[in-house]
Amino acid sequence: MTGAEGFISKPKGFLPRREIMVAIIVLALLIFLLMNRGMPLVLTILIQIAIFAIITMSLNFEVGYTGIPQFGRVLAVIAGAFAVGAIPGRLLAMFMGLPWGASYANNAVNYKLVPQLNEVLAGSWLLSVGFLLLCLLMAAACGAGIGWLMSRPAIRLKEAYLGISMLAFGDFAMWVGHNWEPLVGGSTGVYVPDPFRVVYGARFQVVVITIFVFALLIYLFINKLVKSPFGRSLKMVRDNDVSAAAAGKDIVKIRTQSLVVGAALAAVGGGLWVIYTGTVTAFGFSRLVFTFWPWAFMMLGGIGSNTGVVLGVSLLQILRTMITTYRFQLFGFLIAWKIDPIHLDHMLLGVVIVVVVLFLPHGLVPENVEPVLPANRVRRVITDGLEPSKPAVNRPLS
**2 vs 276, higher pLDDT:** 276
For residue 199, pLDDT beyond 70: yes
pLDDT tens digits for range 284-326: 888 888 998 999 999 989 999 999 999 999 999 998 888 888 8
For residue 279, pLDDT beyond 70: yes
- What is the percent of the chain where pLDDT is above 70? 88
Distance in angstroms (rounded) separating the CA atoms of residues 379 and 385: 10
For residue 214, pLDDT beyond 90: yes
pLDDT value, residue 12: 45
Picking from 77, 134, 41, 79, the residue whose alpha carbon sits closest to that of residue 322 is 41
Q: What dihedral angle (degrees, nearest 10) is formed by the CA atoms of 132, 137, 143, 146?
A: -130
Distance in angstroms (rounded) separating the CA atoms of residues 215 and 219: 6
Indicate the pLDDT class of residue 327, thresholds 50, 70 and 90. confident
Picking from 220, 215, 318, the residue whose alpha carbon sits closest to that of residue 272 is 215
pLDDT value, residue 330: 72
For residue 261, pLDDT beyond 90: yes
Domains in the chain, please, with CATH? 1-13+378-398 (no CATH), 17-367 (1.10.3470)
pLDDT value, residue 210: 95
**Of 11-15, 238-242, 388-392, where does the model show the most confidence?**
238-242
For residue 391, pLDDT beyond 60: no
Q: How many CA atoms lie within 13 A of 216 on its CB side?
A: 7
pLDDT value, residue 134: 95
pLDDT value, residue 5: 44
pTM reported for the whole predicted model: 0.86
For residue 170, pLDDT beyond 70: yes
Contact 80, 143 (CB under 8 A): yes
Indicate the pLDDT class of residue 32, thresholds 50, 70 and 90. very high
Q: In this predicted structure, which of 69-78, 86-95, 183-192, 322-331 has the lowest mean pLDDT?
A: 322-331
pLDDT tens digits for range 33-69: 999 988 999 999 999 999 999 999 999 999 999 988 8
**Of 5-14, 137-146, 239-248, where does the model show the most confidence?**
137-146
pLDDT value, residue 156: 65
Picking from 51, 45, 59, 46, the residue whose alpha carbon sits closest to that of residue 273 is 51
Q: In this predicted structure, which of 168-172, 234-238, 265-269, 279-283 has the lowest mean pLDDT?
A: 168-172
Helix (H) or strand (E) holding 312: helix 306-331
Contact 249, 237 (CB under 8 A): yes
Contact 268, 102 (CB under 8 A): no
For residue 390, pLDDT beyond 90: no
pLDDT value, residue 186: 85
Helix 39-63 with 251-277: angle, nearest 10 deg: 170
For residue 238, pLDDT beyond 80: yes
- What are the residues facing 190 on neighbouring strands? 280
For residue 128, pLDDT beyond 60: yes
Q: What dihedral angle (degrees, nearest 10) is formed by the CA atoms of 381, 383, 385, 390?
A: -110
Neighbour count for residue 119 (Cβ, 10 Å):
10
Across all residues in the chain, what is the average pLDDT? 85
DSSP state of 156: T
